[in-house]
Structure formats: C-alpha cells, structure tokens
C-alpha cells in the first residue's frame, strides 16, 4: 500500500512501483473504447470536448459503462469488468449502440479510427492534468499534441492471475503483433500510425520497458520526467523539469506517495502495470476488430502454451517492434505470426464463444490479406446501430 502523507523514501517508491506488478486471485477483463467524433454534415469541423460531452449526456448506459471525453473531443467508453471475453464484447457493443443513437440526435458520428486523418489537433480541455501534459509534450516532440487530441484506441485491461510477471512478459511480447493486427490508422499495408505517434511523443514513458523485469519497470518510472504532482486532492503542473528519481532527493520539497501515484498515471508503455495489466497498442477498430482483440488479449493472458509460443516468436525476431511499426502485417514475419496468433485464439475460444472465433478469422483475413483495400470515407466508417 502506498504511503499517503509525508516524505517518500527510495525504498518505499521501489515497493510501490513493484506493487503494480502484483498477482490476482481472479481473472477479469475490461475495456476503454475510444472513438473520434465528427460532424456528419461537415467532417472537417473540429468537435470540441464540450460538444462531445453534451452529446454523450449523463443517462446511464444499458451495460453499465461510463463515458468521458479526451482532450481533442474524442469519446471514451469505460466498461465494467467481466469474467470472460464474450461478456465484455457484448457490453461494449450494447453501450456503443446506445451512444451512437445519442450522438445521432445532434448530427455527430462516432468513427472507430486510430488517428484523425483530416483535422489538425486542437486540445479543448482546460483541466490541470491536460494543460500540464500538453505543455510537457510540446517540449518533448511535435507529436505530443497530436497524440493527445487526434488519436483513439481500444485499451484492454486484464487481471494477471497468480503469475503476474509471466502475464506481463507475454502481453509485452505480443504487443508488436497486436499493434500490427489491429492497425487502423494511416495507409493500408503499413503499421499503426497512431502507435508511431505515441512512440515519438516521449520515449522515456511511451516505449517498451527494455528487459521486462520488475527492476527495469522501477527504473523506467523513476527516470521519467515528472510532469504532474498531487495537490489538494487534484493535480498541478510540476514546477521543475527533473526525473522522479532526482525529486526523491529533494530535501526542501520532496515527493509524497500521492505524487508517485500521479506520476504512475503518466507512464504509457505498450503494456502498463496497474495492479491489472493495461494493453495500450490497439487502434480504435470497428465491431469485428473489437471482438477479435478482446479474444486475443484474454487467450494470451489465460492460455499458457499460447503465451510461451509468443515469447519464443519475440525472442527469434528481436526487431519485431520495428517491423510492426514500419510495415505492419505486410512484413512477412509479422504477417505470419499474426495469422498464427488469431487462428490459435479462434481455436481456443471456439467451444464457448463461436462468434468470437468467427470474428478472429474474419479480422485475420481483413488485416493480413495481400491486397488490402483502402478504407472508405469517414462517414462510411462511422459506427452503426
């Protein structure tokens, strides 16, 4: 348990960071599904965050999800957690249909696409967290604001079970394949443009943890530049540009456990330990892709033989991430491994969830076919009821 007041020691910080890799006595899965929001009559018009929030409304969603708004006006649906992938898939789709109907009343559409191809990034939230993040990322890379305001993802969170390090390593090894298989941004036949934007934003907090052991994760967190600090139950921008490790040695204004908790929320590796494991490499995708992605993450986390094979593949292809980002499933090694992964996932879920198996095979055909077709217009890509 993190300390909540008083100076934070190096040892306490180490323990708190390692605790994000703790095991669990259950296996549940949840999602944060994001969409780009467009004006159906004028797609080039930016839709500010306040307009998205008004369209989303505050009525309860049928499957129990909750909504929030991202800095560029993107919509995020956070689901409940479920004991299996089919229940999660059904909940996402039920709540998504309700949201599509709400947005249609105001002439807005939800587009499951990883990167806005049309509008320049315009952050429109003035919450202290986002203002501080925007300032930090502008200093790091021109891609920082684009990441905040122009991207949308499907983030899947799964309990690690009794062997959290194994689960973390499996999902991290699979991350380049998942990024390629569910690339839905940029030019067909290439890797995820959204993931390339994230990778370029601030490599100290967005790139893979190098050696996938707890100490490497501790070092990554401590060496990342501090952008936020806890204040009065909220957050504010950090005044000094320094690593959290350096801040721990500040005798005048040292960090507290609450500061570390906030700092951890600004770490964005492909798979983020948070007590559960958050897979962050999947673009916003349409319904069949969501079903396939949910099934894939569940099988990777729960079927040991599949995880072992994924680790073997990653060990044999040390430049898997570079191949994935550059060419996606058009790269022969990535495409072959991706087809294998979705087929073994389909086989694993078929007895209890045949519709998920069909989604995996359909998505594999779409994403790994030799002759990929360009996506249609933005309005053709919009979610339907």
Domain contains 19: no
Helix axes 128-140, 143-150, angle to 10 degrees: 140
Query: What is the structure's pLDDT at 375?
Result: 53
178: closest CA among 300, 350, 312? 300
Domain contains 383: no
Indicate whether 5 pLDDT > 90.
no
pTM exceeds cut of 0.75? yes
For 160-200, how does the pLDDT look when each residue is reduced to its tens digit (9 = 90+)? 999 999 999 999 999 999 999 999 997 777 899 999 999 99
**CATH of residue 214:** 3.30.590.20
Alpha carbons 254 and 11: distance in angstroms, whole number: 14
Helix axes 304-316, 332-349, angle to 10 degrees: 180
Contacting residues for 129 by C-beta, under 8 A, at least 6 apart: 228, 235
Query: Dihedrals φ, ψ of 92, to 5°?
Result: -55, -50
Average pLDDT, the chain: 94
For 34-50, how does the pLDDT look when each residue is reduced to its tens digit (9 = 90+)? 999 999 999 999 999 99
Question: What torsion do the CA atoms of 303, 308, 312, 314 make, to the nearest 10 degrees?
Answer: 50
Count how many domains the chain has: 1
Domain contains 21: no
Domain contains 312: yes
Domain contains 232: no
Query: What is the structure's pLDDT at 372?
Result: 54
Domain contains 164: yes
CA-angle at 35, arms to 144 and 47, nearest 5°: 75
Alpha carbons 213 and 223: distance in angstroms, whole number: 16
Domain contains 344: yes
Query: What is the structure's pLDDT at 2?
Result: 41
Cα 307 to Cα 162, 168, 251, 318, 365, distances in angstroms: 15, 10, 45, 17, 22
**Element holding 155 (H helix, E strand):** strand 154-158
Domain contains 190: yes
Query: What is the structure's pLDDT at 369?
Result: 65
Alpha carbons 18 and 106: distance in angstroms, whole number: 46
The domain in which residue 344 lies consists of 29-219+270-367
Alpha carbons 291 and 90: distance in angstroms, whole number: 9
8: closest CA among 226, 217, 154, 159? 226
Query: What is the structure's pLDDT at 371?
Result: 44
């Amino acid at each position: 348990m993190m300390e909540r007041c008083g100076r934070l020691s190096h040892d306490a910080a180490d323990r708190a960071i390692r605790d994000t890799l703790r095991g669990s006595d259950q296996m549940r899965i949840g999602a944060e599904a994001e969409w780009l929001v467009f004006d159906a009559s004028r797609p080039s018009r930016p839709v500010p965050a306040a307009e998205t929030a008004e369209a989303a409304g505050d009525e309860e969603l049928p499957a129990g999800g909750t909504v929030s708004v991202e800095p560029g006006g993107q919509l995020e649906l956070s689901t409940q957690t479920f004991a299996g992938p089919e229940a999660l898939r059904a909940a996402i789709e039920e709540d998504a249909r309700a949201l599509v109907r709400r947005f249609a009343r105001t002439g807005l559409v939800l587009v499951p696409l990883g990167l806005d191809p049309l509008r320049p990034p315009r952050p429109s939230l003035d919450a202290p967290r986002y203002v501080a993040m925007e300032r930090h990322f502008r200093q790091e890379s021109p891609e920082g604001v684009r990441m905040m305001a122009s991207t949308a993802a499907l983030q899947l969170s799964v309990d690690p079970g009794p062997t959290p390090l194994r689960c973390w390593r499996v999902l991290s090894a699979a991350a380049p394949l998942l990024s390629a298989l569910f690339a839905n941004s940029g030019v067909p036949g290439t890797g995820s443009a959204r993931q390339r934007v994230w990778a370029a934003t601030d490599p100290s907090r967005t790139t893979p943890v190098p050696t996938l052991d707890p100490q490497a994760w501790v070092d990554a967190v401590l060496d990342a530049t501090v952008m936020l600090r806890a204040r009065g139950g909220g957050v504010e921008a950090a005044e000094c540009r320094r690593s959290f490790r350096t801040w721990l040695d500040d005798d005048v204004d040292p960090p507290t456990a609450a500061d570390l908790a906030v700092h951890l929320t600004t770490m964005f590796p492909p798979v983020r330990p948070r007590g559960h494991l958050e897979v962050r490499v999947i673009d916003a995708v349409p319904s069949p892709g969501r079903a396939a992605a949910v099934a894939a993450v569940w099988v990777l986390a729960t079927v040991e033989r599949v995880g072992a094979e994924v680790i073997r593949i990653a060990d044999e292809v040390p430049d898997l991430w570079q191949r994935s980002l550059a060419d996606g499933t058009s790269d022969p090694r990535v495409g072959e491994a991706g087809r294998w992964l979705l087929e073994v996932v389909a086989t694993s879920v078929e007895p209890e969830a045949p519709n998920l198996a069909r989604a995996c095979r359909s998505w594999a055909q779409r994403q790994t076919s030799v002759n990929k077709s360009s996506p249609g217009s933005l309005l053709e890509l919009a979610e339907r009821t």
